[in-house]
Amino acid sequence: GAVVSQHPSRVICKSGTSVKIECRSLDFQATTMFWYRQFPKQSLMLMATSNEGSKATYEQGVEKDKFLINHASLTLSTLTVTSAHPEDSSFYICSARDRGLYTEAFFGQGTRLTVV
């Protein structure tokens, strides 16, 4: 199947700093990517849908100024957690689907963010 690569897999940052997470589709063009957040032992929470060349669509309750999403090319989307605080510590996962109808989603390996 297709490959989605997410980097870094783990990051520890100080409170108040910003962290960038990259998500790349390696063998297909992803016009749309999705960003999820997952708390321990809980389900996936969709944060936003990232569209190449346009603004991301955020889910209700997600702060767009805190979680900046950029999708500048057909193979790269980035999530920047700005002015991070300990409550932003979580597991972040990106996903992409190919363009067709009924196609499966491919997921990155996830990023464990710890804010100290």
89 binds another protein (CB under 8 A): no
Cα dihedral sign, 14-17-22-23: positive
Q: Is 109 in the site for another protein (CB under 8 A)?
A: yes
Interaction between residue 116 and another protein (CB under 8 A):
no
Q: Which is nearer to another protein, 1 or 86 (CB)?
A: 1
Of the candidate spans 12-20, 68-76, 82-90, 102-110, the one that interacts with another protein by CB under 8 A turns out to be 102-110
Structure tokens given for 8: 């870094």
- 90 near another protein, rule: CB under 8 A: no
Q: Is 95 in the site for another protein (CB under 8 A)?
A: yes
Tokens of 65: 């100024």
Contact flag: residue 114 with another protein (CB under 8 A):
no
- Distances from the Cα of 94 to the Cαs of 15, 49, 115, in angstroms? 23, 10, 19
Which amino acid does the sequence have at 69? I
CB of 42 to another protein, least distance (A): 8
For another protein, the binding residues in 2-61 under the rule CB under 8 A are 4, 6, 31-32, 34, 41-44, 46, 49, 51
- Identify the three-state secondary structure at position 103: coil
Pairing outcome for strands 19-25 and 10-13: unpaired
